[in-house]
Amino acid sequence: MSGKTRHARPFPPPLGYGLGITFYSWTSDQLSQYGTKVVPVTIRDSTYVLDERCNNETELPIREHTTDTAGATEIIFALFDLLGYRFTPRLRDIGDRRLFTSGAIDIQRYPRLQPYVTGRIQRQRMLHWWDDLLRVAGSLKLGWVTASLLVQKLQAYPQKNALTLVLQEYGRLVRTLHIMRWYAHQEDRRRILRQLNKGEALHDLRAFLVVANKGHLRHPRGEVLAHQASCLNLVTNAVIVWNPVYMAAAVEQLKQEGYPLDETDLAHIWPMRYAHLNVYGKYHFDVEEIRRREGLRPLRRPGRRD
């Protein structure tokens, strides 16, 4: 960002120098953006990871959420499970994570597991506070409080209160189950990594689309920044939806010309390409002309190289 604004914060050292903000976005497995939020660059991702998930107004039947280590804490594991969603983050240094259990391990059945499960959760504490945990989940479901506000309030206490402690206990158990599934199911690991790669692959497209003022944000008002983030999501989704239309036309033309095509290869072609897009100049939208238009524009035929 350029100029003075109360929303900007100094970049952490790994990101560079200057002031900036984060457009935190939520991406579906269909590569569509179904939510965005303007957040400070210095606050951990896990504070906001549940916000748009709870406020999802789209028709996407979202059941699972994937993020990296910055988006995962014990409290977030607990809240996802209480809300009925599966949380599948990619955890850094997963081999060094403590595993927890609610009781003793059957040594005869799992002789190699005992050295790694060194933690014990306080089961009675969770049972005693179970009604309070359900009230927290109900407040998030009904929108009485945002997940980010709840997490920030829990973390703001100088000492951890009883609700924070019980959420951490519950989250340790859920995180242990996630780690066990991570080791046991190779296909789950691949699916989680594919989903993360989809989100990362969209960064280049979004950076390409933010061209005004050389990519610098200059508005000091928070609502204007939120509008810019939403507009960026809208244009990104338009590119994601429109690219496959021409990609399908190109594939059909190649088939008609007799080129050999393997259908399994098409699954690896993602619609985040932007080299053919022109983001400069003036834009004119004639709705009536668009309605009269039939078919697509002719595909480009690049010159043949010998």
Residues ≥6 apart with Cβ < 8 Å to 22: 38, 39, 40, 41
In this predicted structure, the answer to whether residue 15 has a pLDDT above a threshold of 70 is no
Percent of the chain with pLDDT over 90: 18
Residue 273: which pLDDT band, with cuts at 50, 70 and 90? confident
For the residues 12-35, what does the mean pLDDT come to? 81
The predicted structure's pLDDT at residue 250: 86
The predicted structure's pLDDT at residue 306: 37
The predicted structure's pLDDT at residue 305: 43
In this predicted structure, the answer to whether residue 291 has a pLDDT above a threshold of 70 is yes
What's the pLDDT tens digit per position in 49-84?
A: 888 888 877 788 888 999 988 888 899 999 999 999
Is the distance from CB of 148 to CB of 158 less than 8 angstroms?
no
- DSSP annotation of 276 reads T
Shortest CA distance to 151 belongs to which of 81, 75, 55? 75
Is the distance from CB of 22 to CB of 39 less than 8 angstroms?
yes
Residue 120: which pLDDT band, with cuts at 50, 70 and 90? confident
Among the ranges 106-110, 232-236, 283-287, which has the highest mean pLDDT value?
232-236
The predicted structure's pLDDT at residue 213: 67
What's the pLDDT tens digit per position in 168-214?
A: 999 999 999 999 899 888 999 999 998 888 888 888 888 888 876 66
Is the distance from CB of 208 to CB of 277 less than 8 angstroms?
yes
For the residues 115-127, what does the mean pLDDT come to? 85
In this predicted structure, the answer to whether residue 276 has a pLDDT above a threshold of 90 is no
Residue 303: which pLDDT band, with cuts at 50, 70 and 90? low
Mean pLDDT, the chain, whole residue set: 84
Is the distance from CB of 81 to CB of 107 less than 8 angstroms?
no
Query: Is the pLDDT higher at 106 or at 246?
Result: 246
Query: Is the pLDDT higher at 123 or at 104?
Result: 123
Question: In terms of residues, how long is the chain?
Answer: 306
In this predicted structure, the answer to whether residue 8 has a pLDDT above a threshold of 90 is no
What's the pLDDT tens digit per position in 132-141?
A: 999 999 999 8
